[in-house]
């Protein structure tokens, strides 16, 4: 049995115009080599990787240029062959925001000469060795969060009930997973099974939204060919955000990930189809992550399509390869239309977290309306897939009432933006929640610092008191000893005087 019918439905969520067809008409554009690459060292979740190349050094495609710091972290590789021009701090996009990171700037030589890792590139035996290889090969969640895959797999290994391979791709405009599933279904299935081996999962569900019939067919065929009893392909309803990790787990299994916990706590792990593909390439060909599929779309780009882009490709070059900008482009967005953010310029490089670039026209971006007062209609609460009460959170966020924010579950907000879309007063709730999360983190940090300062101050006082008491006791002992010594000396002197006196008496008497 390869197929599952789904009887559950997502809590909350909204239906959105998909806007995906524009970028799915042409096949994925492959083998592009930009003249310069800017490869970020801190593009994954967790710690930044440590550079191991020098300026001026020649590197080949797939050669390690930075090694992982203590986990969670992942290695970084040269995405094409060339010479290291500089190692410097640049602005890079991550899943949620822009950040500064050390980057390796590489002038490519156009040869795309592959790196030969020798026997070290072979797929090792044993779970631990393989996970280590996944870490050093730089595999990270290619769905958009770029969390190091090795760490995610490690946490669930041995207690995994179900591995969920996420091909939902619910956010409008993004079609990179769809195109990859159409063009490389067998590789995705093979990578998914390799992942199931790594975590010891007895069940592996590949979930795809109903609006991708061609991808669904391709994956189904590949699954039938693979004929593995663990494998199931599941068609899920087209609702945003059905592809969110927690939402997908609940949709498929009925189990809810507890607040504040991660899916591994209840035996589930979600991996994007792109990540499964990357794992397949590593396991069969020894190739680390040097590229990813990026959707370049929007009304402002001439020929919207998907591109297999080397990591570090400047966004401007990608758009150029897709026919360039049209005249009516007004904004460049990193990510999808719901959770993406505006980019300040197009010389920013792509990272492993870049699933989509939207060159938007004025008709495509949200009009900025005047915000009206909250009328407590509750539409946001109905739309919230995390079952929160956004209207209550808004009040608490405005008042900076951290206790209320905590008890209302601010931390469980996935920032999907559903509440913004349904709000009849045009209140931009998600931005407020993002801001409140930052303030709350700051508040929590202060509380922790206060508690630690108090504890250390108390210990210090105690220690000083003890050492004072100790030194007082030592002084007393010394005084007593000196007094005793004096006494003994006085006695000795007295005795000597007495003896002398007696001797004198004896001398006189005879």
Q: Kindly tell me which of 449 and 473 has the beta carbon lying closer to another protein.
A: 449
- Which residue lies nearer to another protein by CB, 441 or 493? 441
CB of 14 to another protein, least distance (A): 37
User: What is the Cβ-side half-sphere exposure of residue 388, based on CA atoms within 13 angstroms?
Assistant: 28
Q: Which residue lies nearer to another protein by CB, 426 or 457?
A: 457
Q: At closest approach, how far in Å is the CB of 461 from another protein?
A: 9
Q: Specify the residue, 100 or 328, whose C-beta has the smaller distance to another protein.
A: 100
CB of 442 to another protein, least distance (A): 9
Residue for token pair 């007094």: 483
* Smallest separation, CB 454 to another protein (Å): 4
Q: Least Å distance between CB 32 and another protein?
A: 36
Alpha-carbon distances, residue 344 vs 91, 216, 315 (angstroms): 10, 36, 11
134-159 as b/e: b if 16+ CB within 10 A: bbbbbbbbbbbbbbbbbbbbbbbbee
Q: What is the Cα–Cα distance from 486 to 318, expressed in whole angstroms? A: 94
Structure tokens at 366: 């949200």
CB of 452 to another protein, least distance (A): 7
- The pair phi, psi for residue 164, each rounded to 5°, is -110, 120
- Select 129 or 451, whichever has its Cβ closest to another protein: 451
> What is 296-355 written as a DSSP string?
EESTTBSS-EEEEEETT-BHHHHHHHTT-B-TTEEEEEES-TTT-EE-S-S-PBP-TT--
CB of 50 to another protein, least distance (A): 20
Q: How many CB atoms lie within 10 A of CB 249?
A: 24
Contacts of 395 (CB under 8 A, 6+ apart): 374, 401, 404
Q: Which is nearer to another protein, 89 or 486 (CB)?
A: 89
H-state helical runs in 227-314: 245-253, 273-285
Residue closer to another protein (CB basis): 387 or 456: 456
Whether 108 and 31 have beta carbons less than 8 Å apart is answered as no
Contacts with another protein by CB under 8 A lie at 446, 449-454, 456-457, 459-460
- Reduced to 3 states, what is the DSSP secondary structure of residue 23? helix
């Amino acid at each position: 049995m390869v197929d599952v019918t789904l009887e559950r439905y997502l809590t909350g969520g909204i239906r959105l115009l998909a806007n995906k067809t524009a970028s799915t008409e042409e096949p994925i554009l492959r083998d592009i080599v930009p003249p310069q690459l800017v490869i970020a060292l801190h593009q994954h979740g967790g710690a930044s990787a440590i550079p191991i190349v020098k300026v001026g050094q020649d590197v080949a495609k797939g050669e390690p240029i930075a090694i992982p710091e203590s986990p969670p972290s992942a290695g970084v590789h040269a995405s094409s062959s060339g010479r290291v021009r500089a190692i410097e701090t640049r602005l890079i996009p991550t899943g949620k925001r822009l950040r500064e990171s050390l980057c390796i700037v590489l002038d490519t030589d156009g040869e795309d000469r592959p790196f030969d890792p020798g026997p070290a590139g072979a797929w090792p035996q044993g779970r631990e060795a393989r996970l280590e290889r996944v870490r050093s090969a730089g595999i990270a969640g290619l769905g958009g969060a770029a969390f190091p895959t090795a760490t995610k797999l490690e946490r669930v290994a041995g207690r995994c009930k179900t591995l969920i391979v996420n091909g939902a791709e619910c956010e409008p405009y993004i079609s990179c997973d769809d195109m990859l599933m159409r063009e490389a279904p067998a590789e995705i299935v093979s990578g998914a099974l390799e992942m199931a081996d790594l975590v010891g999962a007895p069940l592996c569900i590949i979930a795809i939204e109903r609006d991708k019939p061609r991808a669904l067919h391709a994956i189904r065929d590949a699954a039938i060919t693979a004929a593995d009893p663990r494998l199931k392909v599941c068609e899920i309803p087209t609702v945003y955000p059905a592809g969110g990790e927690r939402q997908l787990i609940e949709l498929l299994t009925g189990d809810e990930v507890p607040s504040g916990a991660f899916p591994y706590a209840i035996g589930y792990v979600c991996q994007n189809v792109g990540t499964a593909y990357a794992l397949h390439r590593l396991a069969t060909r020894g190739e680390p992550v040097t590229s990813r599929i990026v959707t370049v779309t929007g009304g402002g780009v001439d020929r919207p399509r998907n591109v297999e882009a080397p990591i570090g490709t400047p966004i401007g070059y990608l758009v150029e390869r897709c026919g360039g900008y049209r005249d009516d482009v007004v904004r460049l967005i990193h990510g999808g239309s719901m959770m993406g953010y505006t980019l300040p310029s197009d010389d920013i490089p792509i990272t492993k977290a870049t699933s989509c670039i939207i060159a938007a026209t004025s008709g495509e971006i949200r009009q900025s309306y005047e915000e009206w007062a909250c009328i407590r209609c509750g539409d946001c609460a109905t739309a919230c897939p995390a079952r929160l009460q956004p209207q209550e959170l808004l009040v608490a966020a405005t008042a900076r009432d951290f206790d209320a924010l905590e008890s209302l579950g601010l931390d469980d907000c996935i920032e999907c933006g559903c509440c913004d879309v349904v709000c009849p007063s045009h209140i931009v709730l998600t931005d407020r929640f993002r801001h409140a999360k930052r303030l709350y983190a700051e508040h929590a940090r202060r509380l922790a610092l206060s508690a630690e300062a108090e504890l250390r101050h108390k210990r210090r006082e105690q220690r000083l008191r003890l050492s004072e008491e100790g030194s007082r006791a030592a002084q007393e002992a010394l005084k007593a000893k000196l007094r005793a010594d004096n006494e003994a000396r006085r006695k000795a002197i007295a005795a000597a005087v007495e003896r002398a006196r007696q001797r004198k008496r004896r001398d006189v008497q005879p």
